[in-house]
């Protein structure tokens, strides 16, 4: 059972890392425009489509 001495702090630390990443992402504006960027990647600039 002594494995929990490393497991629990490890998992808590991992959770904390995710939390920090989330705050960083929100502050970066990653959640500002969910729709626009989702669609932008699908719209390639094929010349034949623009003819």
Partner 1 sequence: MSPPSILPTCNCFHCGLPAGAGSNYRALLDGIHRDFCCLGCQAVCTAIFEAGLQGYYQRTPEGVLLAPPPDPPQDIDSYDLDEVQQEYITRSGELRDIHLLVEGIHCPACVWLIERVLQREPGVRLANVNLAAKRIHLRWDNNLNRLSNLIRALARIGYSAVPYDQENAEGVIKKSNRSMLFRLFFAGFTMMNLIWISIALYSGADKGEFRDFFHWMGFVLATPTLLYSGYPFYRGAIGGLRVGRLTMDLPIAIGLSVTYAYSTYITVSAHNTGAVYFDTVTNLIFVILVGRYLEGMFRHQALSSNKRLLELQPRVATVIRNGEEQVTPTRTIKPGDHVLIKPGHKVPVDGIVLEGFSAVDESMLSGESAPVDKAAGAKVTSGTVNTNGALLVEVSSTLQNTTLAKIIRLVEEAQASKAPIQQLTDTIVPWFVLATLVCATLTFLIWYHNGVDIALMAATAVLIITCPCALGLATPMSVAVASGLGARHGILIRNGLVLETLSRVSHFVFDKTGTLTEGKLSVAVVHVVPGNDMQEIVRYAAAVERYSEHGAARAIIAAAEARQLNFRGVTVQGFNATAGLGVQAEANGRSVLLGSLEWLSRNGIKADPELLARALELEAQAMSCVHCALGYAHVAVFAMADRLRGDAQQLVNELRTAGIGMTLLSGDRKVVAEAIAGQLGGMEVLAEVLPQDKDLAIQRLQQRGAVVAMVGDGVNDAPALIRADVGIALGSGTDVSVESADIVLMHNELAKVRLATLLSRRTLRTIKQNIGLSFVYNAIMVPLAMMAKVDPLVAAITMPISSLVVIGNAARIRNLFNNEKS
Distance CA 17, CA 7 (A): 15
DSSP annotation of 32: S
Distance CA 40, CA 14 (A): 32
Residues 25-44 that bind partner 1 (CB under 8 A): 26, 32-36, 39-40, 42-43
Of 10, 12, 14, 17, the residue at the interface with partner 1 (CB under 8 A) is 12
Measured from the CB of residue 28, what is the shortest distance to partner 1 in angstroms? 13
Of 14, 17, 22, 25, the residue at the interface with partner 1 (CB under 8 A) is 22
Distance CA 30, CA 9 (A): 29
| Residue number with CB closer to partner 1 (28 or 36) | 36
């Amino acid at each position: 059972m002594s494995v929990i001495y490393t497991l629990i702090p490890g998992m808590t630390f991992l959770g904390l890392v995710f939390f920090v990443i989330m705050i960083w992402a929100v502050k970066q504006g990653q959640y500002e425009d969910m729709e626009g960027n989702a669609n932008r990647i699908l719209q390639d600039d094929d010349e034949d489509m623009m003819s």
